Structure 1
C-alpha cells in the first residue's frame, strides 16, 4: 500500500486552491463539504469561484503573498502551467501544507479519492492511480447501497450518545446500537418519518433498553430480470432482510445483493402449476415476521402487478405486522425499453392498459372488448398460452387483424427473445418461433390505423 488512507480534520484550518478555472472550481466543490476556510489564489476567476468570493465563503489572493499559505492544511494546485504548479507546490510544502497537483500524480503528496458522502458518514475509495475509472464504478455501487437519509440518522444517533451512556447499562449498549441501526427507528427514518424515528429512539432510551424487535414484511419488486434494474430501495431492503422468500423468475444475481447470512426460501410458482399454495406462503412469511425478523417477499416485476400482493398484505395486517411495498420495474416497461417503442405516443397511443391472459379457475376471462379502441396499447401478461383466444376476442371486438403485435420473452435476461407479428397471426407466430412463458404480448391499435380503415373500405368497394 503506497498511500495511507486518513481523514484530515479541517475545522479551523485552511485549504488553498491555486487556479482560476474549472479544475480549481471542481476542487472547491469538494472542499465546500467541509468546515475549512477556503482561499483562492488566481486572477480572472471562473464565475463559480468568483461567486464563492462574493458570498464570503472564500477569500481571494490575486497574487502570491507571504501570507497566502498561512495555516494551510491542504493545497490544491490547478493553474495549468507545469512550471508554476511546481513552484507553488514547493512554496506550499515549506508552509507545511499537504499538496495535490491536479493531473500530476508524481507531484502529489496526497490524491483525491472517489467519495461517497453521507455526512457524517464518509467513504473514500482509492486505487493508487492504477484504475481511477474502477474507483468511480465502486463509488456508484456503494451509492446504491446507502440511503441518502443515512447521514442524518447517524447525526441523530450522535446527538443521543450521551443520553444512551447515562440510561443504558454498559453491557447492553452494543445491543442497543445494533437495534437502533437495524430496527424500527432506522426503518422509520429511511421511510422519511424522521420525527417518529427520533421518538422511538428516545422512548427506548427513557425505558433503559431496546424494545423487542418487531417483525416487518416488505413486498419487494425484483424487476423483470436484470439486477441493475432494481431500485435503490429494493437493494436496501435485501441487505437488511433476515429472511427472503423469492419467486421462480427472480434472477440468482439479484439474490447476490442480499446479506450473506440471510435465509433464502424458494416459494416459486409456475403458471397453472402452483407448487406451494398461496395460503401456505402467507403463513410462512407471517410466522417468520412474528419472530421479530425482517422479511423480504421478493417478487419478479412489480409486486402490485399480478403479484398476489393483496393476500400477503391482508395476512400480515391480520397478524398486526408492519408492511411496505417497494415498487419494481414491471415487465411491460422493460419490454418497451428493449423494443425502443414507448408505451404511449402522442397523437397515436393515448391509452395504455395492462391485462392478463390467466385468471383463477372458474373466473371469466378479462373483457377484452374494452381494450379494442383506437389509440390503445395493451400489454398482456401470462397470455402466451391464450394467444388464440386473445386474438379471437380482440378481433371480434373490433381491433383490426393487422394491428401490430410485439412478443417479448424473458425480457432483460440473457434469454430475451423478440418476435413481431400481427394480431391475426399472433398464435401462429408464437408456435413457429417457439416462444414461451414468461413473455409479454404488446398489441398496439394506433389512431392512424382506425382513421385509414374507412378509406380502405371505400377503395375496396
Structure 2
C-alpha cells in the first residue's frame, strides 16, 4: 500500500492553494466543501475562483515564497510550472506540511482521491496517483450502488447510537440490531424520504424486548428486457432479497442479478397457461414474508402497467406485510425507443394510449371508437394472438387501412425483431415469418419515423463492448 487512506477535518483550517486556473478552481471547490479557509497564491486568478472566495480567505498575488506556508495545515500546488511545483514540495516536506502536487505523485505526501459524497458517509477511491481517470471510472460505478439518501440514514443512526448502546451491552447484539435496521424497513423509509416515520419506527424497535427479523416484499419492475434499463433501486433491492419470484417476461440476464444464494421461484404465466395462478402467487408472497424473509417479486416492464401489481399489494396490505413498489420502464417506452419509434411527436401524435390485447375473459372487446382518433398513438400489450381482430376492428371503426403499424418482438434485447407494415397488411406480413411472444404492437403515424430514427439496429449488440 503506497498511501494509507485517511480522513481529516479541514473545518476552519487554513489550506494553501498555489495556482489560479481551472485545476485550482476544482481543488478550491473541494476544500470549500470541507469547510477549509483558503489561502490562494497566484498572480492571475480566474473569475470563478475569485467568486468562490469568502471574507476569511486570502488572495496573494505577489507570487510564492516559503513565508506563505506559515500557519498552513496543508498545501496543494496546482500550477504548470514544474520548478515551482518542486520547490513547493521541498519546502512542505522540510516543514512537515502535507502537500499535494497535481498530477505528480512523486512530489506528493498526500493525494486526493475520487470521492463519493453522501455526507456524513464519504467513500474515497484512489489509484495511488497512477491513474486518476481509472479512479473516477470506479467511482462512477460505485455511485450507482450507493443511494444518495445514505447520508440521511447515517444521521438517523447517529441520533440513536447511545440509546442502542444502553439497550444492548453486548457488542454482538448491537451489531445484529444495526444490521437488521440498516437492511430493513427503517432504512427503506429513509430512502423513500419518510425520515420522521423511520425515526419513530427505530425508537420503537429499540424498546422491543428481542430482535425479530421482519419480512417484506419488493414489487420490482424489471423493464422490458435489457438489464441496463433497471433502476438503481431495483438492482439494490433485488440483491437484498432472500426469495425471488419472477415472471416469464423477465429476461434470464436480469434473474442472474439476484443474490447467488437467493431462492428462485418461477411463477410465469402465458396466455391460458398459468404455471402458478395469480391467487397462489399472492399467497406465496404473504407466506414468505411472514417467515421473516425479504421477497422480491420481479415483473417484466412496470408492476402497475398490466402487471397485476395492484392485486398483489392488496393481498399484502390485508395481511399487514410491509412492501415497496419499484417502477420499471414499461415495454411501450422501452421497445418503442429501441425500435426508433417516438410514441409522441408534435407533427404526428399528441397523445399515446396503452391497451391490453386481451381482457380477463380472454376477449378483446375494447372501446374501438376511442382508439381511432387521429394524432394518437395506440400501443397494444399482449396483442399477438388477437392481431387480426385488432386490425379488423380499427379499420371497421374508421382508422385508415394505410395507417402504419409496427410489431416489436423481444424488444430491447439482442434478439429484437421489428416488423413494419400497415393495418391493412400486417396480418399477411407476419404470416410469412415466425413471430413469438413477447411482442408489442404500435399503431400510428409515428411508426413512419422508424427508418430515420432506429439507432438500435445500427449496432450489433450481440458483440462485447469495445
Aligned to 1:290: 290
Structure 2 counterpart SS, 1:264: strand
Alignment of 1:255-274 (within 5 A): 255-274=255-274
TM-score, scaled relative to structure 2: 0.89
2:330 corresponds to 1:330: yes
| Counterpart-to-counterpart distance in 2, 1:131 and 1:300 | 40
| Counterpart-to-counterpart distance in 2, 1:188 and 1:410 | 35
Q: Please give the per-residue CA displacement for 1:246-265, whole angstroms capped at 9, x wherever unaligned.
A: 11222233234433433222
Q: For this pair of structures, how many residues does the alignment match?
A: 446
Aligned to 1:195: 196
Q: Out of 72-81 and 14-23, give the one that drifted further.
A: 72-81
The offset of 1:415, in angstroms, is: 0.9
CA contact (8 A) 2:185 2:322 kept: no
2:237 corresponds to 1:237: yes
| Counterpart-to-counterpart distance in 2, 1:245 and 1:131 | 42
CA contact (8 A) 2:66 2:91 kept: no
2:409 corresponds to 1:409: yes
CA contact (8 A) 1:14 1:38 kept: yes
Instruction: Say if 1:123 and 1:256 are closer, same or farther in 2 by CA, change over 3 A.
Output: farther
CA contact (8 A) 1:399 1:445 kept: no
Q: For structure 2, list consecutive stretches of 5 or more residues without a partner in the other structure.
A: 449-466
Aligned to 1:313: 313
Alignment of 1:61-460 (within 5 A): 61-62=60-61, 63-129=63-129, 131-170=131-170, 171-205=172-206, 207=207, 209=209, 212-361=212-361, 363-445=363-445
Aligned to 1:452: none
TM-score, scaled relative to structure 1: 0.89
CA contact (8 A) 1:169 1:208 kept: no
CA contact (8 A) 1:353 1:376 kept: yes
Q: Please give the per-residue CA displacement for 1:369-427, whole angstroms capped at 9, x wherever unaligned.
A: 31111001011111122221111111111111111112221111111122221111111
Instruction: Say if 1:74 and 1:257 are closer, same or farther in 2 by CA, change over 3 A.
Output: farther
CA contact (8 A) 2:153 2:190 kept: yes
Q: For structure 1, list consecutive stretches of 5 or more residues without a partner in the other structure.
A: 449-461
The offset of 1:358, in angstroms, is: 2.2
| Counterpart-to-counterpart distance in 2, 1:202 and 1:372 | 57
Q: Out of 398-407 and 107-116, give the one that drifted further.
A: 107-116
Q: Please give the per-residue CA displacement for 1:53-104, whole angstroms capped at 9, x wherever unaligned.
A: 2x33633222335442234443222122223222222223223233322233
Aligned to 1:458: none
Aligned to 1:451: none
Q: Out of 248-257 and 381-390, give the one that drifted further.
A: 248-257
CA contact (8 A) 2:353 2:377 kept: yes
**Aligned-residue RMSD, C-alpha:** 2.4
Aligned to 2:57: 58
CA contact (8 A) 1:176 1:209 kept: no
Aligned to 1:14: 14
Q: Please give the per-residue CA displacement for 1:157-183, whole angstroms capped at 9, x wherever unaligned.
A: 123212222233325212211122122
CA contact (8 A) 1:351 1:377 kept: yes
Instruction: Say if 1:408 and 1:363 are closer, same or farther in 2 by CA, change over 3 A.
Output: closer
